[in-house]
Amino acid sequence: METLYFTTVNSPIGPLFLAASSQGLVALEFDARLRGQQTIRPNPRNVREEKTQIKFEESPEATQGYVAELDEYFAGRRRSFMFPLDLRGTDFQLACWRALLAIPYGETRTYADIARAVGKPQGFRAVGMANNRNPVAIVVPCHRVIASDGSLCGYGGGLDVKRKLLQLEGALSGVLAA
């Protein structure tokens, strides 16, 4: 049985849930999730939990390195994260998430840009779904993906949070700031 170490931390955009394996960060989720939004968090009322091969153990100590880098990011002192990631998804999702990781701090890309980057030029909707399933918010920067017309759209943490993250990174243009 695999153990995931977790903690919940406060941030300028609200509480964040972090979970890490021995390989790296597995999840960074907004505490306030939209209805139906996926989560890795254990649910004591979920009977299916008994069948999973994951045990959750609260451990601020095991997650402190991740929290420290997030604190530096929110303070404007970190532009990239150095800790390892343990991303889990389909091959297509992993390709999309790697493309997100390639978006530089302070810049944005469109869903169509990401679709082209993963070799599926007409797959912008599929890219949107992969972004929606991104288990490691902020670090795998799906907040840096915008609509083709330059407007903000679709973000699991809500558009206000997306706007705040882009503002922190200096990536807000006139259209995005509106």
Looking at the DSSP bridge assignments, the partners of residue 146 are 110
Q: What is the pTM of this model?
A: 0.87
CA 153/CA 128 separation, integer angstroms: 10
Nearest to 113 by CA among 152, 147, 160, 88: 147
Strands 145-146 and 109-110: parallel
Q: How many CB atoms lie within 10 A of CB 165?
A: 23
Tokens of 58: 């609260």
**What are the pLDDT tens digits along the chain (178 aa)?**
899 999 999 999 999 999 999 999 999 998 765 555 566 655 544 444 455 688 899 999 999 999 999 999 999 999 999 999 999 999 999 999 999 999 999 999 999 999 999 999 999 899 999 999 999 999 999 999 999 998 998 888 889 999 999 999 998 765 554 4
Longest CA–CA span in the chain (Å) reads 50
pLDDT tens per residue, range 1-50: 899 999 999 999 999 999 999 999 999 998 765 555 566 655 544 444 45
Q: Catalytic: 142?
A: yes
Answer yes or no: are the C-beta atoms of 52 and 112 closer than 8 Å: no
Active-site residue, selected from the candidate residues 18, 142, 165, 166: 142
Q: Say which DSSP state 41 is in.
A: S
Which runs of consecutive H residues, i.e. helices, occur in the chain?
60-74, 91-101, 111-117, 124-132, 159-168, 174-177
CA 155/CA 157 separation, integer angstroms: 5
Classify residue 24 as left (phi > 0), alpha (psi -120 to 50) or beta.
left
